[in-house]
Amino acid sequence: MIIKLLPNQIAEYWDSIKYALIQTNQLTPKDKLPEYCTNVLLNLYSGESQCWLILSDSREIKAVVITRIIKDIGNINYLMLDVVYGFQPTTIEEKIDSLDAIKDFQINTKCNNIFAYTANPMAINAMEKMGMKKAYQVYAIGVNYG
């Protein structure tokens, strides 16, 4: 089962959410992680970002997903999967049910597509199994990139 947390429910699950943030971090330097986590927390409290939990039948957290709506230069909405972290294995059915719930949110918020970025081969494999396709390649330059 997947649930979308309300902003007033974030504090109850913050330790697990924060752990997922740190484990999935691909871009933020380690010395900036406290600031990163604080910014994500503020975005979750304000509703700018959304937190989803995949729960077991006994209501244990199996996975954390954090999304946010972004606008492109043409003012078109897209739903970004910023964080996907599994505490326990999830079945393909749970993944598909979760993606369906997120797709419903995407439609209700008038987002064109769902995007995700990762360099993690396991995440790429899971996204492909759920029907997601590679759409773009991202390049970066700066002090935090090789």
Per-residue confidence at 135, pLDDT binned at 50, 70, 90? confident
Tell me which CATH homologous superfamily contains domain 2-129: Gcn5-related N-acetyltransferase (GNAT) (3.40.630.30)
Please report where in the chains the tokens 């994500």 appear, as a residue. Answer: 40
What is the Cα 32 distance to its own chain's centre?
19
pLDDT at 146: 47
**Which tens digits make up the pLDDT trace of 39-75?**
999 999 999 999 999 999 999 999 999 999 999 899 9
Task: Give me the chain's average pLDDT, please.
Answer: 90
Over residues 126-137, mean pLDDT: 82
pLDDT at 143: 60
Q: Select from 67, 86, 85, 92 the least CA-distant residue to 77.
A: 67
